[in-house]
Structure 1
Amino acid sequence: MPFSIADARFLLARATGLLHRGLLSLRTRGMASSWERVRAQLRPSSPALRAALYLPPRTAFAPFTLPTSAAPRASVVIPVYGELAHTLACLRALATHPPAAAFEVIVVDDGSADKTAETLPQVAGLRYHRRAANGGFIAACNDGAALARGAVLVFLNNDTVPQPGWLDALLATFDAEPDAGLVGAQLLYPDGRLQEAGGVVFNDGNAWNYGRLGDPSHPRYAYLRDADYVSGAAIAIPRALFAELGGFDTRYAPAYYEDTDLAFAVRSAGRRVLYQPAAKVVHDEGATSGTDTGAGPKAYQVRNREVFRAHRAGALAHHRAPHEPTPATLHAGQRQVLVIDALTPQPDRDSGSLRLVNLMRLLREEGAHVVFLPANRSYDGHYTDTLRQLGVEAWCAPHAARAPAWLAEHGPRFDVVVACRHYVASEFIPLLRQHAPQARLVFDSIDLHYLREQRAAEVTGDAAIASAALRTRGRELGVIAACDITLVVSEAERVVLQRDAPDATVEVLSNLHSVAGPGRPFAERRDLVFVGGFRHPPNVDAVRWFAAEVFPLVRRQLPEIAFHVIGGDVTPEVAALAALPGVVVHGHVPDIAPHMDGGLLAVAPLRFGAGVKGKINLSMAHGQPVVATSCAVEGMHLVDGHDVLVADDAAAFASAVVRACGDATLWQALATHGLENVARHFSANAARAVVHRVFMA
C-alpha cells in the first residue's frame, strides 16, 4: 500500500501528541517517573492479562436483547457520538454477561452522523434517546440522568467493555460503605494492563492515573480505597446525590475535568469517593476523543484544568505537590497499621481469624489504613479478596518480596505494627526493629499458647507436652519483653502476665462479634451444636469426650436428639465419631448461620485451653444458649445459671444439657442474657477504647 498524505498527517499528529504529553509529564512528574512510564508503555503486556478479559467479537450487526428491567436499581447511561462499533461492543458485553441487579440502559445519542440512529433502536430492552443537536459529553450525560429511573446512576463510556460482575461490584460498594457517594471501576487497557486504579490530583490541578500500565492484580491496586477522583468512563453515584449537586458542572463543557470536579463536589457534600477494583471495565482510551491534548476535543483537557484549578483552589491547597504516588503517600494523612499473621485469616473457619478480621474492620472505621502481610506470602483466594474489599491493602506473592526486602521498602511508612502469635512475632521482631524503628510494636498473643499447653499437660498427664509448654513459655515471654504492648483476650490472661511478665504493658482486646439477633424461637429449634476448627487440639479432645462420655447420657433422656459437629480440618479421630448414634460430623460448612439460628443448644465441652472461646460468642450472638465447662467460660464475664450453664464432669454436663433443652423459660433467659453479654463485652463498641489507645494514640 503506497504511503499517502493522510498517513503522513496521522504520523505527524501522533508525534506531536507524544511530544506534548512527554513535555507535560516532565514538568509534572520529573525525569525518573517519566522515563518509567515510557518503559512501561514499551514493555509488552503479558498474554495472560488479555486472556483473562471478555472482549466480544466484532461481527456484523444483528438485533439482540438487553435483559433490562422496568423497575431498575441502576440506570446505565451511555453517551455516544458516532463510533457505532464501540457502542455495539459495549452493549453486547452487557447482554452477554448481564448484572444480577435490576438495571436499565439509556443511550444518549449526541448527534451521531453514522448509522447509530438506525441501528440502536433495533436493540431490544434499550432506551434510545437522540439529542436534537450535538452538545458534548456533559450535556449528553446530564440528559441521560434526567431520563433515569434507577436509584443509582452509572455513567459508562461507549468505548468500554464492562467485564462480568462489574455493575454488581459497584452497587455492592454502596451497600458495604454507607457513606460512599461516588464509586469508580478499575479501568483496563484492551491488552489487560491497568489503565487507572483511581486517580490522584495534585495541588496544581494536574491528575495522575494511578497504576497506569501496571498489573491490575498487584496488591497496590487491588483493594477498595478512597481516591481523589475516579474516571467518568465507568462511575456510579446515587441519583438523588447527582441531582443535589446539579449534575456534571457545565462550566467544563463540552468535556474534561467534569468527573474530577464531581468527585470534589461529592466530598464537599460529606460523602466518600471510592475506587472499586472488583468492578473491572476495559476502556479503549482515546477511541472517541483521541489522545493529543494539543488539538481536537482533548484540547479542552488543558483549558479545563485551569478552570478546575481556579474553581477548587481551596480544596487543592490541601493536596500534595506533583510526585509519583505510592501507597505510603496515598495514605499519608492516615495512621498506617501493618498486621502480620502466619496465614491469611479465614473468619468462617476459626474464631481467631474472625477476631482479626473484625479488628482490621474496626481499625478502618477508626480512620486507620490497614496493611496485611501473611508470613507465608500466599494468595488465599476469596479470603485475600475479602480483606481487600474491606479496604485492607493485602499483600501476597509474587508481588510481595520476602520479608527482609518487603520491610526494607515498606517499613518506614508504618505507625504501628502488630505481629500475631509468638512464633510469627519472634521471626519478625529483629526485622521490624531494623526497618520500622519508628513504629509501635504490638504483640497479639491470640491466646497465651504456653498457658494452653500447660493445661493440656495437666489434663493428659503427658510429660512431653509439659516439657514443650516450658519451652513455649520462654519463647512467648521473650516476645512479650521485646514488644511495646501485648494484647491478650481476657482479664484472666492479663492476671497471668502480671505474675509472669510484670514489666510488660498488657491490654485486653477480646473477641469482636456483631450481634446477629435472636434467631428462631425455642419451639422451632432442635439438636445440639459444636463449632470449632480441628487444627486446634482442645477442640478435638472436647468433641471426643462429649461424644463418648456425655452424649450417651443425654440420649437416654432425649433419644431423638442429634449432635452436630461443625468445623474444618477434621481429624480421623473426629471423623470416626460419625459412627456413634446421633452424631453428625459436618466438617467445614460455608454458611454457619442456619446452624446458629436453628440449633437448640450449643455445647463447649473444653477440658483445657486458653483465651476467650469464639464458639461461645458466636452462639450467643445468634441467641443460641450454651452449656460449657469452667475452662471454656474463663474470662468471658458469664454467670452460671444467668447467661450460661456450667458443668465439668460428664453427668453434670449431661444434666445441664437436658435441663436447657426441656425448659423453655430457662432457655429464653439464657438466650436473652447471652445476647446482652456479647453486646456489652465482645462488640466493636466495647473494643473501641482499647483500639484507640493501642493503635491510634
Structure 2
Amino acid sequence: MTGKLTWRYRRFVSIAQRVRSSVALRGWRGTLSRISQEFASRPAFDDTLALLPLDVPFEPFELPSSAQPRVSIVIPVHGKLAYTLACLRSIAAAPPSDPFEVIVIDDASPDETADTLARVRGLRLLRNTENLGFVGSCNRGAAEARGEFVVFLNNDTQVTPGWTEELLRCFDLRPNCGIAGSQLVYPDGRLQEAGAWVFADGSAWTIGRFEPRTDPTVRYAREVDYVSGASLAIRCETFAALGGFDARFAPGYYEDTDLAFAARAAGLEVWYVPTSVVIHAEGISSAGAPQNGMKRFQDINLAKFADKWREALTRQPAPGTPLARVAEQRRRGTVLVVDVATPDASRDSGSLRLISMMRLLVDDGWHVVFAPDDGRADDAAIRELGRLGIEVIARPWNDGVPSWLSRNASGLRAAILSRHTVAAQYAPFVRRHAPGAKLIFDTVDLHFLREERGAEQAGSAALSRQASVTREQELKLIAAADTTFVVSEYERSLLARMLPDARVELLSNIHEVHGRTRGHEGRRDLLFVGGFGHPPNADAMRWMADAILPALHRVLPDVRILVAGDVPEGERRTLAAAGLTMLGRVPDLTPLMESALASIAPLRFGAGVKGKINMAMSHGLPVIGTPMAVEGMRLTDGVDVLTAETPDDIVAAYRTLAGDPYRWTLLSERSLAHVEEHFSATAALAALRNAIGRRA
C-alpha cells in the first residue's frame, strides 16, 4: 500500500478502537454525545477566557518576581516563542499573590527564543547547551528552584487569576496532598482534562474531555490517579525525595503519570483542582504525527510505565471498566445531601454546620453530592463547594433530586435530608430508588419545639396549630429514618422520651477553634450575629432595639450593639433608627470578634444549639445570653458564659466584663476550651460514621 493508504488504514483502525473503548467506558449514549461534542462547530477561541493574542510584536516587560519565593514556576521551552511570550504575559497579568519566581529552561531552541527571553525582566533563564527534552529540562529547573513549591507549566498555556493560589490551597486543605493539578481547558472553551484514571494495562483516560468546563460534575476537587504535567504543583522536597521525573521517560510522555504513582506509593495523594484554571493549546509543545513526532513516545513510554509499575497496576481497574465504576472504586461510595438552599457560611450557622459536615465526609473518603431543594446554585457557590470536593446538582445542569436518584442510585450509600420540609419530599424517592442506602434525617433543630415556644411567646393560636402539624411530621420522619441528627443534648433527651425506639445521634455545630489574638484592653461594643429571616433572631433584634439598648444607654451611653446579618431594608431602617448599628452580612467576622467586648444572644424562644454562641466562643469572645439561648449547650453560668434574663441583667453582665479584665480573660479561655471539647470535628465525624455505617 502507498504511504497515504497506509495512513488512512491506521487512522480507520485507531478511530474504530476509540469508538469501541468509548462505548465500553461511557455506553452508546455517552459515546454519541462525545462524538457530537468533538465535531460541533465552535469558534477557535472562547472570548470569556480573555486569551492574550500570539501575534504581538515583542516589547520588553517585567515579571514581579521575588528573591525569596514561595512558588517556583518552571517552564521548559523548545522554540514556539510566540506561545512562550503569551504564557509569560499571562503570568504578568495575573501574578501569584505568594512571592514567586519564574524559571524558563531554553532547551536548545532553534529560533531566537533565548535572546528574546533574556530581555524579560524578572525572569530566570537557564540555557541547555543540548536538547534534554521535557523531562531533563523540568528536572534541571526544579534543581534550581528556590521556592517551597515547584509548579511545572507548559509554555503553550495561559494562566488565569488565582491559579497558583488554588493549587497551593489544596495542600492547605488536604495535609496528605502530594501533587495538585489544574483544570485544563482548550482555547475554544471546552474542558481538556479534569485529572485522569489509569487502567491495569497502564493506559489512561482523561476525565471530562470536551465536556463544558462549567458543568458542576467537573468542578469539584477529587483524588485522581494522575494530573497532567502541563500544570502540576508539588513541594520541592517531595519532588526531590521521589527522584524527580524519571529519566527513563525522556524526552517526554508518562513522566507525570509515573511521578503520580511514585507519590501514591509514598502514601501521598494526587488531587485535581478545578478552581485552578489553565488554558492549554494541547499539542503545540509536542507537535507531530504519532508515528513520526514526539507523540510516538506515548506508546514507547506506556510500555516502560507498565513494566515499572506492574505490581501497582494489578490494583487498577481493568481496561474497558465503565468510567462511573472506575470513579466509584476510588472512593467509599456516594452520600447525597439535600437542604432548602445552597449553604453560605457567611449567612447563618446552619450553613456553616452543613458545609463542615460535608467536608468531613469528603475527607473521610466519600463522594458528596449536594442538592439545593430550590434548584439554584450560583457560580460562586459551585466554586466554593467544589473547592472542598463537593459536587453540586442544580439547574440547568440537573433537573432535580428524583431524576438524579433514578440515574445514580446504585452507588448511593446514604442520603442526608436536612429539615422536615425537605425530608418529607425526598425520603420516599430515596427508599424507592436506593432501598439499601441509609436514610438520615437531619433536623437542624427540632422545628416543632421552636414553633411551640414561638407560639407561646406570641400568644398565637394559629402558630400553635402550625406547631402541632410540624410536630406530627417531624416525629413521623424520625420514626421512619435509619438515623436522626439533633444538635443538642436537650433535644436528644426529649426524643428519647417521645420516641424511645428511634435512632438518634447528637451532631452539633462544628467549629474550628480560631483562638484569640487580642486581650481585654480597648474592647467596647456588643456583637449580635444572625439574619432577620430566622424568627428568634428577628424577635431578639426588636427586643435589643426596644429595651436592651435603652437600658444600656441609661448607664453607658457610648456602648453600641453591632448587628451582623441579613435584614430586609425596611426593618433595617427601623432598627437603625432605634440605635442598633446595622452592618448587614459580614463575610469575615474575625475583626468584629477581635474588637467587641462580648457577644450578645438575647433569644426568647427557639431550639437547638445556637451557632452565634459557638462562633463567638471559638474566637475567645465571652457570651452574654438568655437561658433559652444557652439551653442544651452544656454551659455553666459564670464559668463558660454569663446568663441574663432581663435588659437590666444584660447591663449588669456587660459592666462585669468591662470592669474586670481578669474575669473577662477567664471566660474567654473557658470559651475556647468548651468549643474544643464539645463542638469539634472529631465528635461530628464519629456521629456521621455511626449513621452511615449503621445497619437498618
The TM-score bracket by the shorter chain reads over 0.9
Aligned partner of 2:175: which letter? P
- Aligned 8 A contact 2:70 2:99 in 1: yes
AA at the equivalent of 1:542? A
Task: Give the counterpart of 2:259 among 238, 256, 262.
Answer: 262
Q: How does 1:668-679 map to 2 (within 5 A)?
A: 668-679=665-676
Q: 2:388 aligns with which of 363, 385, 390?
A: 390
Deviation at 1:506, TM superposition (A): 0.9
CA contact (8 A) 1:17 1:291 kept: no
2:408 aligned with 1:410: yes
Query: Cα–Cα, structure 1 residues 318 and 559, in superposed 2: closer, same or farther, change >3 Å?
Result: same
Q: Give yes or no for the alignment of 1:465 onto 2:463.
A: yes
Shift of 1:625: 0.9
Q: What SS does the corresponding residue of 1:522 show, helix, strand or coil?
A: coil
Is 1:314 paired with 2:318? Answer: no
- Separation (CA, whole Å) in 1 of partners of 2:324 and 2:577: 54
Amino acid at match of 1:297: M
Counterpart for residue 138 of structure 1: 135
Larger deviation: 42-51 or 217-226?
Answer: 42-51
Matched-pair contact (CA < 8 Å) for 1:45–1:192: no
Name which of 527, 530, 537 aligns with 1:529.
527
Alignment partner of 1:627 is 2:624: yes
The separation in 1 between residues aligned to 2:208 and 2:606, in whole angstroms, is 47
Displacement of 1:27 in angstroms is 5.8
Does the aligned pair in 1 maintain the 2:507–2:683 contact within 8 Å? no
Deviation of residue 140 (structure 1)?
A: 1.3
Candidates 561, 565, 577, aligned match of 1:579: 577
CA contact (8 A) 1:444 1:487 kept: yes
**Which position in structure 1 is the counterpart of 2:640?**
643
Instruction: Give matches, 1:168-317, under 5 Å.
Output: 168-290=165-287, 292-317=289-314
In the TM superposition, what is the alpha-carbon distance from 1:24 to its structure 2 partner? 4.2
Structure 1's 548 and 14: CA in aligned 2 closer, same or farther, altered over 3 A?
farther
- Residue type of the partner of 1:44? S
Name the TM-score, length of structure 1 as normaliser. Answer: 0.94
Question: What residue is the counterpart of 2:158 in the other structure?
Answer: 161
2:441 counterpart (435, 440, 443): 443
Report the more deviating stretch, 485-494 or 97-106.
97-106
Cα distance in 2 between the residues matched to 1:294 and 1:19: 15
Give the CA deviation at 1:324.
6.5
| Aligned amino acid, residue 440 of structure 1 | K
What do residues 134-191 of structure 1 show as CA deviations (whole Å, max 9, x unaligned)?
1221111111112222221111111112223222222222222222111111111111
Measured in 1, the distance between the counterparts of 2:324 and 2:559 equals 55
Give the aligned partner of residue 347 of structure 1: 345
Partner of 1:687: 684
Counterpart of 2:611?
Answer: 614
Contact 2:184 / 2:278 at 8 angstroms: preserved in 1?
yes
Question: 1:448: how far off?
Answer: 0.6
- Which of 649, 652, 655 pairs up with 1:652? 649
Distance 1:59 1:571, change over 3 A: closer
Could you list the per-position Cα deviations for residues 406-452 of structure 1 after superposition, in whole angstroms to 9, with x for gaps in the alignment? 21112221101100010011111111112222210000000011110
CA distance in 1, matches of 2:395, 2:43: 17
In the aligned structure 2, how far is the partner of 1:260 from the partner of 1:39? 29
Distance 1:500 1:44 in 2: 63
1:679/1:686 contact within 8 Å kept = no
Question: Is residue 22 of structure 1 aligned with residue 19 of structure 2?
Answer: no
User: Aligned AA for 1:194?
Assistant: L
- Per-residue CA deviation, residues 547-601 of structure 1 (Å, 9 max, x unaligned), is 32223222222222111112113463454122234x3121211211111121101
Using the alignment, how far apart are the partners of 1:53 and 1:438 within structure 2?
48
Query: Quick one: distance in 2 between partners of 1:407 and 1:514?
Result: 33
1:556 paired residue among 550, 554, 557: 554
Deviations 1:329-371 (A, max 9, x none): 3143323211111111111111111111111122223222211
In structure 2, what is the Cα distance between the partners aligned to 1:22 and 1:158?
29
**8 Å CA contact 1:529, 1:602 repeated in 2:** yes
Distance 1:676 1:46 in 2: 59
* Superposed displacement of residue 662, structure 1: 2.2
Contact 2:46 2:187 in 1 (8 A): no
Partner of 2:216, secondary structure, is coil
8 Å contact 2:139–2:245 — kept in the other structure? yes
| Secondary structure of the structure 1 residue equivalent to 2:152 | strand
| Partner residue, 1:359 | 357
Q: Which secondary structure state, in structure 2, belongs to the residue aligned with residue 255 of structure 1?
A: coil
**Where does 1:29-68 land on structure 2 (aligned, <5 Å)?**
29-30=22-23, 32=28, 36-45=33-42, 49-68=46-65
Q: Secondary structure at the match of 1:598?
A: coil
RMSD over aligned CA atoms reads 2.2
User: Aligned residue for 2:543?
Assistant: 545
3-state SS of 1:569 partner: coil
Question: 1:432 — aligned with what?
Answer: 430
Distance 1:682 1:121, change over 3 A: same
Counterpart of 2:653, as a letter, is A
* Residues 327, 681 of structure 1: alpha-carbon distance in 2 compared, 3 angstrom cutoff: farther
Find the aligned partners of 1:114 and 1:526 in 2 and give their Cα distance: 67
Whether the 8 Å CA contact 2:394–2:400 is kept in 1: the answer is no
The answer (yes or no) to whether the contact 2:194–2:207 under 8 Å persists in 1 is yes
Contact 1:334 1:369 in 2 (8 A): yes
Aligned-residue offset at 1:74: 1.4
Structure 1's 649 and 319: CA in aligned 2 closer, same or farther, altered over 3 A? same
**1:149 paired residue number:** 146
What is the distance in 2 between the residues matched to 1:195 and 1:350?
Answer: 37
Cα distance change of structure 1 residues 108 and 652 upon mapping to structure 2, 3 Å threshold: closer
In 1, are the aligned partners of 2:180 and 2:233 still within 8 Å (CA)? yes
Which residue matches 2:504? Answer: 506
Q: Hey, what's the Cα distance between the residues in 1 that align with 2:128 and 2:192?
A: 31
User: How far off is 1:196 after superposition?
Assistant: 0.5
Q: In the alignment, which residue of structure 1 is the partner of 2:515?
A: 517
Does the 8 Å contact 2:288/2:294 carry over to 1? no
Q: Secondary structure at the match of 1:415?
A: strand
Partner AA of 1:500 in structure 2: M
Paired position in structure 1 for 2:106:
109
* CA distance, structure 2, for counterparts of residue 219 and residue 12 of structure 1: 43
Distance 1:57 1:307, change over 3 A: closer
Q: Which residue of 1 aligns with 2:122?
A: 125
What amino acid is the match of 1:516? H
Of stretches 510-519 and 393-402 in structure 1, the one that deviates more from structure 2 is: 393-402
Aligned to 1:3: none
For 1:22, give the aligned amino acid. I
In structure 1, what is the Cα distance between the partners aligned to 2:288 and 2:223?
27
Mapped partners of 1:327, 1:585: distance in 2: 49
| 1:14–1:292 Cα contact (<8 Å) kept | no
User: Hey, what does 2:372 align to over in structure 1?
Assistant: 374
Task: Determine the structure 2 residue equivalent to 1:476.
Answer: 474
Gaps of 5+ in 1: 1-7
Is 2:659 the counterpart of 1:662?
Answer: yes
Question: 1:588 is matched with which residue?
Answer: 585
Distance in 2 (alpha carbons) for counterparts of 1:200 and 1:530 = 49
Deviations 1:586-644 (A, max 9, x none): 12112111111211011111110001001111111111111111111111000111111
Aligned residues: 688
**Structure 2: stretches of 5+ with no match in the other structure:** none
Measure the CA separation in 2 of the matches of 1:650 and 1:85.
Answer: 71
Quick check: 64-73 or 14-23, which moved more? Answer: 14-23
Q: Kindly, what percent of the aligned residue pairs are identical?
A: 46
Contact 2:54 2:83 in 1 (8 A): no
Q: What is the deviation of 1:36?
A: 4.6
Aligned partner of 1:453 in structure 2 is: 451
